[in-house]
A and B are shown apart, each in its own frame.
Chain A
Amino acid sequence: MKTHEQFAEDLPLYALEELTDADRRELEQHLETCAACRREVQFLRNDLSLLALSSAGPRPPARSKDRLMRAIAAEPRGSSAPAAPATVRRRGLSWALVPALIALGLLVWAGTLYRQNEGLRNNLASLAALYNNTTAQLTQAQERLRLLSAPDAIQVSLNPQAEPRKPHATAIYSPSQKRLMLMVSNLAPAPLGKAYELWLIPMEGAPMPAGMFRPDQNGNAVMMDHVMPEGVVAKAFAVTLEDAAGSDKPTSPILIVGSGL
């Protein structure tokens, strides 16, 4: 039987999917009972995602998207089976006896119907897009309203720890809504390659990233709809200056901070 240390040594290979079937099964049994190793696998996957995200190359061809959108259009929500192929109507032999002139007339008529049908389809697609857009905006507005009116929503003012007191930020956060809103004023523009990062400081544990923002030339910024993990109670909020790519933990002094209690 392997020790925890031996399993821990194999975690990078597990994350890389390099273990043999037998070793993988053995390690997965260990993971079921070892929270530390499970957490380390999650961190390793994040390391691997950095490598993956560093891949550069050509964009996929346009036909790939067409193929995907056709495929999902053929699948009603909740169904994983491809749509049944259209039934083919077999025509009787008697059609061969229809005079050519009548057939031509039918073709012209069918062409007209086809064009009308295409026009209606286009109109329908435009209306559907408009509907989806409106629905999305309505949903967004409702979510913001829910945050503002949530009984447990708190409003926190963040002020500089030292003089001057010019920069100011207000965070609105609801643990039940899992949503966070931040309004900032009088904050110096972020240097090139840098951005401000908001941190939620929980009752226990390390500060959690709560979104990046960059003030405009007047020092104002608004960050809407940032989603946090469920049920996190905020002890405080703070803002630091970080690399524009963001950081998992604060790497510079706190610029403004406010208590959530």
Chain B
Amino acid sequence: MEPMDTSSRTRVDAGDDMRLVARVRAGDQQALSVLYDRYSGVVYAVSLRILQDTGAAEDILQDIFLQLWRRPDAFDSSRGSLAAWLAVIARHRSIDRLRQRRPESDIEECVIASGTDLRDETERSLVIEKVRVVMNEMSPDQRTAMEMAFFQGLTHTEIAEKTGEPLGTIKTRIRSGLQMLRTRFAT
């Protein structure tokens, strides 16, 4: 027998994540340590790409895992996969910091439809490659709008000013870009 969770690297599934979150809820520091080892790379990579500052990215990383320790109930399986949830929260917190504002969204309100599991590094590599392919298929203008909105944290108004395009065009590019991503990951 070869269950997927016995590869040389620890195989992760949503149930495993949820068991670890349950252990965190019970005060198990080792469980948080395992979750940190599993997902700190994702959280740090998102924050670093947005903030371009290693110290600030470390602060976001610390803040998010402390939140997971203090309020593990904020996450349950109905909110999507833990990886997707952490990635979205990391982006929100980084944008808040970039704009020097108080966090806008409550982590308990962040619900994600289904969500992408990162069972191991191989699967993350597949996600990275697939997103890269979809982004390359976008027109340069659309790709720029998506990059500016997602990773630079610019508002659509700021993007319109920078690119000289009408607001409506920017909105359409972002909307259709996300739609394209969804369609390609659904097939």
Contacts and interface: CB of A to CB of B under 8 A. Distances in A.
A129 B31 CA distance: 10
Given A213-B3, A244-B123, A44 B48 contact: no
B122 interface: yes
A244 B127 CA distance: 10
Query: How large, as a class, is the contact surface on chain A?
Result: 35 or more
B113 A229 contact: no
A226 B13 CA distance: 7
A195 B175 contact: no
B117 A67 contact: no
Main secondary structure of the interface of A (DSSP, over half): mixed
A54 B4 contact: no
Contacts of B132: 54
Contacts, number: 231
Interface stretch (A55-63, A105-113, A159-167, A233-241): A55-63
A225 B16 contact: yes
A51 B146 contact: yes
B126 A243 contact: yes
A64 interface: yes
Contact of A49 (B3, B65, B96, B115): B115
Interface stretch (A85-93, A148-156, A247-255): A247-255
Interface string A107-143: 0000000000000000000000100110010011000
* Interface core residue of A58, A64, A71 (most chain B CB under 10 Å): A64
A132 to B, nearest CB: 5
B181 to A, nearest CB: 5
* Interface core residue of A50, A52, A140 (most chain B CB under 10 Å): A52
A259 interface: no
* Interface core residue of A46, A71, A129, A229 (most chain B CB under 10 Å): A46
A65 B36 contact: yes
A60 B84 contact: no
A82 to B, nearest CB: 10
Contact of B84 (A49, A57, A65, A245): A49
B36 A46 contact: no
Contacts of B130: 245
Contacts of A212: 4, 13, 119
A26 interface: no
Given A39-B113, A75-B69, A132-B30, A68 B104 contact: no
Given A53-B42, A53-B128, A64 B58 contact: yes
B56 interface: no
B97 interface: no
Nearest to B33: A69
* Interface core residue of B18, B83, B88 (most chain A CB under 10 Å): B88
B48 to A, nearest CB: 5
B72 to A, nearest CB: 10
A227 B18 contact: yes
Given A17-B105, A52-B88, A68-B66, 18 more contacts: A12-B175, A17-B95, A18-B156, A54-B127, A57-B49, A58-B45, A59-B44, A65-B33, A72-B69, A132-B30, A179-B15, A211-B15, A213-B3, A214-B2, A220-B1, A221-B4, A226-B15, A248-B114
Interface of A: 9-10, 12-13, 16-18, 24, 39, 42-61, 64-65, 67-69, 71-73, 75-77, 80, 129, 132-133, 136, 139-140, 179, 193, 195, 209, 211-217, 220-227, 229, 243-249, 251
Q: Across chains A and B, which 8 residue pairs bring their CB atoms closest together, nearest first?
A: A216-B2, A77-B27, A52-B87, A49-B84, A54-B131, A42-B113, A60-B44, A55-B45
